[in-house]
Amino acid sequence: MFSGLYFHHSLSCFYTMKFRTKSIHVGNQKDPLTGSVVPPIYSASTFVQPAAGEFGEFDYSRTANPTRRNLETTISALESGCGALAFASGMAATHGAMMILNHGDHIIAGTDIYGGTYRLLHKVCHKVGIEVTLANTTDPKQLDAAIRPNTKLLWLESPGNPLMSITDIAKCVQWAKKHQLLVGVDNTLATPVLTRPLELGADIVQHSATKYLGGHSDALGGLLVVKDPSLHEQLHYLQNATGGVMSPWDAFLISRGIKTLDLRMRQHCENASQIAAFLESHDRVERVYYPGLESHPGMEIAQQQMDGGFGGMISFEVVGEFADAKKIVDQTQLFQLAVSLGAVESLIEHPASMSHASYDREDRLKHGISDSLIRLSVGIENVEDQLSDLELALS
């Protein structure tokens, strides 16, 4: 089994570099054989070994693959981890994190979480004897009420999806450590450009790499990053045993996307800030959820926890009901109606019938995901074109 510390020795000089430089160079060294600036894609499923019973660095691509290793090296450096693991999808990565738990264990997760995570926890983990309680992680009293003697993991999202709630990760970590819990953070919406949960004390960071890391709606993958080598070894064992690994081609595309991540995120944030202000002043909009607005209850924490921006995701409730929201999402042209998020092109979706349709309806409404809620993934197009598109749809 390979070590989660594999890149610290050969690439230690890169750890003095700034974020954007690391995103381009760490894990992307020139090919030693040809001098190629871009590392080749290793599509091989198996690798010749030096002798029977002796194993080289790579033996079988389910266990480790050079192209996948490059991506893991990059994201681990950007998240300040000791190692990372690349999975076939974001949900495969989340499931990988849950596999460290045993029958009878209990998870506390936020109320503002991705619908696929809700489904995994309630419909899959629950079936194998892992219990879950949803709690508003912005309120420490709710965490106190949710904890049980068998609680093992606190699972956070910040910003939350779809209500863009902001959780104080450092404060939650402090609470969790008092109770000897592991802390996992879905960092998909913030990305390491804006928030680095391991630096705030979390144990596991998860990404749907399909989203901002890839950034171009053309790759599927998930990532786990950890700061403890023994936890990395445990997770790698589980990943290798179950086999839900990322393909070399997806790893290559996501590695390529990460090179422009910092630049893209800055533009996502700038555009989203202007759009959020526009929506807040529109008479057809009842409420806007964006942590960069003064009306957002988590703005102060977001300013402390997010580095130079508030993300590219906005949700808003329109005046009316399901039919009114549906009409608006059907009217936009530039904002394309599709699930997913975090790409260069703008997307619009209706959480109640799309990304969060897997919620039990009672739970969905209980946790504030109304029928009139619309979610935007603000792309990097010219913001004037984005505003014109929304104005026409709202009119």
Can you spell out the DSSP letters for 68-82? Answer: HHHHHHHHHHHTT-S
Interacting residues of 246 by C-beta distance below 8 A, sequence separation 6+: 68, 71, 86, 87, 88, 209, 221, 222, 254
139 assigned to active site: no
- What letters, b where the CB count within 10 A reaches 16 and e where it falls short, cover 113-150? bbbbbbbbbbeebeeeebbbbbbbbbeeebbeebbeee
Beta carbons of 159 and 289 less than 8 angstroms apart: no
Q: Which two tokens stand for residue 26?
A: 């760490």
CA distance 280 to 296: 11
CA distance 35 to 17: 23
ω into 162 cis (within 30 of 0): yes
15 assigned to active site: no
Beta bridge partners of 57: none
Active-site annotation holder among 42, 114, 212, 359 = 114
Active-site annotation holder among 69, 211, 364, 375 = 211
Beta bridge partners of 373: 317
Active-site annotation holder among 105, 112, 168, 186 = 186
> Pairing mode, if any, of strands 347-349 and 336-337?
parallel
42 assigned to active site: no
- What letters, b where the CB count within 10 A reaches 16 and e where it falls short, cover 239-269? bbeeebbbbbebbbbbbbbbbbbbebbbbbb
Active-site annotation holder among 6, 20, 60, 62 = 62
Q: Which two tokens stand for residue 160?
A: 């939350």
Residue 164 CB coordination number (10 Å): 28
212 assigned to active site: no
Enzyme catalytic residues: 62, 114, 186, 211
